[in-house]
Structure 1
Amino acid sequence: MMPKPTAREVNFDGLVGPTHNYSGLAHGNLAAARHQGAIANPRAAALQGLAKMKALHDEGFAQAVLPPHHRPNLDLLRRLGFAGGDTTIIRQAEREAPQLLRSASSAAAMWTANAATVTPSADSADARVHFTPANLQASLHRSLETETTAAALSAIFADEQHFSHHPALPATSILGDEGAANHTRLCEGYAHPGIHLFVYGRHGFGGDSAIRRFSARQSLEASQAIARQHGLTDEQCVFSAQHPGAIDAGAFHNDVIAVGNGRVLFYHEYAFADEQATLDALSRRMDTLDTTLCPIRVSNDSLPLQTAISTYLFNSQLLSREDGSMMLIVPAECDTDPTVAEVIEAIVDDTDNPITEARAFDIKQSMDNGGGPACLRLRVVLTDAERDALGAKVMLDDARYETLCDWVRRHYRDRLAIEDLADPALVTESAAALDELSQLLQLGSIYPFQRT
């Protein structure tokens, strides 16, 4: 009998783009709304993300990068009736429709948890890794990402023997898809078969909703369609509604209020509309795989919902070490809040769960725009053969880290106000930076401006 292949989770973090700014575009994202109009520092944002990646690489975790998208997206502005050269279009958009220019300039693709949904080869019928880029139709600025995301994923995961790429779902509210931010895989080990938890906020075809303040982005129909695309069976899936109170409190994705890894599901009391039914369904399915769910529940009494959301405790990375223990990667804001710090300490001290360490990182530039450690990465489980088949140089090592830091320092501004988005120089600066990056990472011509 052939030995079972080993597999590791690789975190593909998004590199922050040169137009990182605080336009406050994301409805329901309280942090983004709070910091609207603030002065951004794209250089610091990119270097903060890279520092987190390097620290995790040094700890022995597999780390890779996904490229930024080219912004401003002038194709959008042309489609919306602005005409002329680049400078004319930008100036006209700023004068007549500044919100459109801000949407066209968004660097939100940095949050690659929204990039796609991924099924590892251990779970798929054809033993390939499956990808579906998210349509992100809930917001204009994010809906622009799908084409470049698909191109980047196709360039990196190019070998058809190992990887299968599906088209994004039709961009309609019925099939609103926000990617892996609403998807969690639970398993005994990465090479073992897993159970897929899909969390949705609404029914695409209607029905009563208790959500009153904000809009739910992920539809049940979208989650079901992705499961079908990836060939997952009913026995491999659990579909659970997100708690409407959490959405109205600012948990615009489920990964703001819950995170899972291995057998562990770390969640707030208000993560799911029917908590017990969700746990029961997961437990039954995991029993069929001869493994046991390890739920870590945080009650609202010990951590109020609003504090959980404002500090992004649950938007943390939960990473497995080779000895089976886990590390919780939290934003620095969790360290400075005494209530959250107490919750983390109790979890680490509890020997009934595998979390033995928590580590905080300064990613303030991302946090101020509403994205914590979990938002910044797309998780892809790969066997050794699948890692060897990657079609680009995106795995992080010491040399690539230094190269990327140098690239950021040479190309990124250290100050960007909203009014700076009307500077036509950003177009050429961004294009020059990304053209060089695509060569450094051997991605090929993934950007539209490289193909014209």
Structure 2
Amino acid sequence: MLREINFDGIIGPSHNYAGLSHGNLAATRNAGGTSAPRAAALQGLAKMRANLALGLVQGILLPHRRPDHGWLATLATDYASAPAHLQAQALSASAMWAANAATVSPAPDTADGRCHLTVANLVTMPHRSHEWPQTLAQLRLAFADPAFMVHGPIPAPFGDEGAANHMRLAPAHDAPGVEVFVYGERGGPFPARQHRQASTSIAGHHRLSPGATIFAQQSEAAIAAGAFHNDVVAVANEAVLFAHEQAFEHRDPFHAELRAALPAVEIVEVPAARVSLADAIASYLFNAQLVTLPGGGMALILPTEARDTPAVWGWLQELVAGNGPIRRLEVVDVRESMANGGGPACLRLRVVADPATIDPRFLVDEAKLAAIEAVVGEHWPEHIAPDAIGDPALIATIERGHRALLEALDLVGLIDN
């Protein structure tokens, strides 16, 4: 039985505020702050527990080995000798944002009836460009069943940032759907991270029907305002598109193409006159998880920042009071992730599949979440100050914590990948 499964990235012990992501306003605004890796990971795990309570199927992706000594070796240096900027890039915990792990096309959409996953190359940002080998190792382990086809990355220089720039709309998760690939061209002072060629290549590898595949340009104004990924201004679930009025560069033609491909689509658009791009991005209104509840209806899983932004919360109250498809709001505290530029949707990769075909080590229940929390409580640093990243004692703590987690989950073999 096909189900939607949210695979959340466990926030790693090296979570820190180095401000490495140009165009991510929250990350650059909080650069140089003191992070709280233990609190960050516990917040992420609490979000997963809340998803389980809603009746959703929950999976995990593991933090990467940090520092990435292998990557530093390719630069002819080691962690102790590397300049501070390379230390920060080698220590980054950004793999926690699993929405950037891969692009996923479920079996009902593909010509061969398999679920296809393409690992994202993330070449635009140096600190993320070395994530894909460890991500690929996890994907090949978690999705080793013949029901899946896992692809390597699209080659540079064609930037691909994964599911954060991809949406799927369908009458139901297990029905054939329409896949929307959102690419960027310009973004004022900020880079457009998703290349159209990367998107078209992924669609080809996934064997998608051209008649059920749409390529839409992200709004230049949205990128310039800080929407570095499409999922900061739009999210889709089943036949519902929830988006800001200024999310897409050619809004009307895109809406028309989507309605032609999926006549049942319902577009819920937030007017710019009610919620500005600035408020939408600061609150991460659209970086919510839009999910179908087992009992029917849809819920938005939102960060506390959405509730704390008056224009956003006021509009949402009107939304759920109406007769639309979104009837429930669930607020979660992921402040540590938000401070580094990632909301609830950034933390998860959506996969429609039969849970029985997935390596069970990557699926969680209450007991497994409790075991992970115990490891985090014992091994994750309480704080990381910006001047501490060169401290050998901190690095030793981070490496011990990572190994302890993999041992607890019987995944220690990933250390060698």
Mapped pair 1:355 → 2:326: yes
CA distance in 1, matches of 2:93, 2:114: 31
Q: Which residue of 1 aligns with 2:85?
A: 99
CA distance in 1, matches of 2:403, 2:31: 30
Pairing 1:98-177 to 2, within 5 Å after superposition: 98-159=84-145, 161-172=146-157, 175-177=158-160
CA distance in 2, matches of 1:360, 1:81: 46
Cα distance, 1:427 vs structure 2: 3.6
Cα distance, 1:423 vs structure 2: 1.5
Residue number among 172, 181, 186 corresponding to 2:169 in the alignment: 186
SS of 2:405's equivalent in the other structure is helix
What whole-Å deviation, never above 9, does each CA across 1:281-332 have from its counterpart, x for those lacking one? 1111113xxxx01000111100011111011101100010123300101100
Residue number among 25, 43, 54 corresponding to 1:30 in the alignment: 25
SS of 2:191's equivalent in the other structure is coil
What whole-Å deviation, never above 9, does each CA across 1:10-69 have from its counterpart, x for those lacking one? 000000011000000000000001100000000000000000100110111111111000
SS of 2:299's equivalent in the other structure is strand
CA distance in 2, matches of 1:285, 1:413: 49
Checking the alignment, whether the CA contact within 8 Å between 2:403 and 2:412 is kept in structure 1 is no
Cα distance, 1:446 vs structure 2: 1.8
Q: Which residue of 2 aligns with 1:443?
A: 411
Mapped pair 1:274 → 2:274: no
TM-score by length of structure 1 reads 0.90
Q: Which residue of 1 aligns with 2:59?
A: 64
SS of 2:413's equivalent in the other structure is coil
For structure 1, which runs of at least 5 residues remain unmatched after alignment? 1-5, 83-88, 203-208
Cα distance, 1:444 vs structure 2: 5.1
CA distance in 2, matches of 1:404, 1:48: 12
Q: Which amino acid aligns with 2:154?
A: L
Q: Which residue of 2 aligns with 1:285?
A: 261
What whole-Å deviation, never above 9, does each CA across 1:364-419 have from its counterpart, x for those lacking one? 00000000000000000112xxx112224121211101101001011101110122
Aligned residues: 417
Question: What is the alpha-carbon root mean square deviation over aligned residues?
Answer: 1.2
Checking the alignment, whether the CA contact within 8 Å between 2:232 and 2:281 is kept in structure 1 is yes
Mapped pair 1:372 → 2:343: yes
Q: Which residue of 2 aligns with 1:3?
A: none
Residues 393-402 or 430-439, more deviating: 430-439
Mapped pair 1:198 → 2:181: yes
Q: Which residue of 1 aligns with 2:237?
A: 261
Q: Which residue of 1 aligns with 2:362?
A: 394
Pairing 1:186-335 to 2, within 5 Å after superposition: 186-202=169-185, 209=186, 211-287=187-263, 292-335=264-307
- Identical columns (%): 43
SS of 1:272's equivalent in the other structure is coil
Checking the alignment, whether the CA contact within 8 Å between 1:72 and 1:426 is kept in structure 2 is no
CA distance in 1, matches of 2:294, 2:211: 28
Mapped pair 1:13 → 2:8: yes
Q: Which amino acid aligns with 2:378?
A: R
Checking the alignment, whether the CA contact within 8 Å between 2:389 and 2:395 is kept in structure 1 is no
Q: Which residue of 1 aligns with 2:74?
A: 79
Cα distance, 1:119 vs structure 2: 0.8
Q: Which amino acid aligns with 1:377?
A: R
Q: Which residue of 2 aligns with 1:85?
A: none
TM-score by length of structure 2 reads 0.98
CA distance in 2, matches of 1:167, 1:90: 27
Checking the alignment, whether the CA contact within 8 Å between 1:199 and 1:240 is kept in structure 2 is yes
CA distance in 1, matches of 2:309, 2:150: 42
CA distance in 1, matches of 2:194, 2:174: 28
Cα distance, 1:212 vs structure 2: 2.0
What whole-Å deviation, never above 9, does each CA across 1:92-118 have from its counterpart, x for those lacking one? 22xxx2111101110000000000001
Q: Which amino acid aligns with 2:340?
A: N
Q: Which amino acid aligns with 1:156?
A: A
Q: Which residue of 2 aligns with 1:205?
A: none
CA distance in 2, matches of 1:263, 1:238: 15
Checking the alignment, whether the CA contact within 8 Å between 1:90 and 1:424 is kept in structure 2 is no
Cα distance, 1:78 vs structure 2: 2.2
Checking the alignment, whether the CA contact within 8 Å between 2:109 and 2:209 is kept in structure 1 is no
SS of 1:393's equivalent in the other structure is helix
